[in-house]
Amino acid sequence: MTKRLLVLGVLVAVLALPIANSVAQEGENIQITFWHAFGGGRMLFIERMVEDFNYTHPGIEVQVEYKGSYRETLNAAILAAEQGNAPHVVQIFEVGTQLALDTGIFIPAEDIVGENVDLLMLDDIIAPVRNYYTVNGKLNSFPWNSSNPILYYNRDMFEAAGLDPDNPPMTFEDVEEVCQTFRETGVAEACITWPLHSWFFEQWMAEQGALLADNDNGRAGRATEVYLDGDAARRIFEWWTGLYADGYYVYSGSLEDWDGANAIFISQQVPMLITSTSDVNFMQNAANENGFAIGTSYIPVPADVERNGVIIGGASLWLTADHPQEELDAALEFVLWMGNTENAVRWHKGTGYFPVRNSAVWVLEQQNWFETHPLYRAAFDQLLETQVNSATAGAILGPFLEIRTMIEEAIQSVMVEGVSVDEALANLDEMADEAVAEYNAGVEE
């Protein structure tokens, strides 16, 4: 009998639990979920910012969740939306823009503010960032973390090899020469690393003023064809895989392995690293801990091609549409707060992502920030000197994630399978065209 009572008691308790929970929630704060793609130090930074927001905004409670890589975060958001359970705010990387638009689950930034377009302070957003996220004449998302790739180099190793640490290599050819010096002087056998990531390929295409796809990189109309087998692509492939064949370029062996490339540079196996400016803060700490000095500079480009500049990388914040109005309002308040001048300054200092607002740049200049922190300068100058054209605006492609993998595998196939550059590029171009055609067929016009 007691046993039966016990079972009954447990059952009642279990059944009553959700009811108790829902009662407790009534009359409480508006709950907003925010998914992002940053682990490690940046995750802690974001959590701190969200805590600040919650503290200063009574009535709203933002719940923050780390969902893995950029790819995983976007895919998780789409799957969640399919199940009618989308997070309110999602951090989506730049190349996910077209896919995000096509899923139809997000509400464009300019639509949600409606007539209160002043809230966005559009003119305050630095031009290249605003251009990147403006598609179909509308700003679609809220710019947040923007970056471009820069060259990090180990000043101590440059000095040890008898090289001038104030003059890092600026061209593809310079890199080869410097690598030779490092090897001859016995300072380093391999000399440069960066993640085997399509992002760098895309940047070098832009630097050469080359388009990735038709219709002005997919910005004048939906892209229907990629341009991946031209001279610009060939130059990048030949240089990259040539450095690998000579043993000058090394990487961890995995695709898109940012941490792996950082580890090779931090452990001083190579004197040079190309990676995102968003690691300035991290890299400076790591160099200090390992007892060497670093410098930063522009990424090298082919000597005989005019330097066009870089594409905005990084991510922006998107709002999903399918929520009650009061939740949308709260979510809007949150993303506006995340991107305000104060937070843009703070985010820049804490990571190395560049400030996305002119007002934030002004604040930093008033503080003499760039003079006292020269490492943060390279990415910003590189961006300011970027020519405004379709190449540096960056491509938007529906199946960009899939094509990125194809580009990475094409480079890898030349490096480890001995496929010729011409063959790899021809295959790549064909496969990517197919992916675009298949994707476009799946879009309801």
Positions that interact with another protein (CB under 8 A): 71, 75, 78-79, 81-82, 99, 102-105, 251-255, 263-264, 267, 269, 398-399, 401-402, 409, 412-413, 416-417, 438-439, 441-444
Q: Name which of 105 and 301 has its Cβ closer to another protein.
A: 105
In angstroms, the CA 56 to CA 98 distance is 34
Q: Name which of 270 and 283 has its Cβ closer to another protein.
A: 270
CB of 56 to another protein, least distance (A): 34
CB of 61 to another protein, least distance (A): 26
Q: CA-based angle 196:239:375, to the nearest 5? A: 65
Q: Name which of 173 and 433 has its Cβ closer to another protein.
A: 433
CB of 151 to another protein, least distance (A): 22
In angstroms, the CA 18 to CA 158 distance is 63
Q: Name which of 219 and 404 has its Cβ closer to another protein.
A: 404
Nearest to 311 by CA among 238, 444, 212, 443: 212
Q: Name which of 120 and 396 has its Cβ closer to another protein.
A: 396
Q: Name which of 25 and 224 has its Cβ closer to another protein.
A: 224
Q: By three-state DSSP, how is residue 153 classified?
A: strand
Amino acid at residue number 416:
V
CB of 429 to another protein, least distance (A): 15
Helix 400-417 / helix 421-441 crossing angle, nearest 10 deg: 160
Q: 179 and 192 in contact (C-beta within 8 Å)?
A: yes
Q: Name which of 371 and 444 has its Cβ closer to another protein.
A: 444
CB of 191 to another protein, least distance (A): 16
In angstroms, the CA 228 to CA 210 distance is 10
Do strands 142-147 and 313-320 pair parallel, antiparallel, or not at all (unpaired)? antiparallel
Amino acid at residue number 308:
N
Nearest to 230 by CA among 411, 435, 408, 421: 421
CB of 302 to another protein, least distance (A): 26
CB of 410 to another protein, least distance (A): 9
Question: Which secondary structure element, helix H or strand E, spans residue 355, and what is its range?
Answer: none
Q: 116 and 124 in contact (C-beta within 8 Å)?
A: no
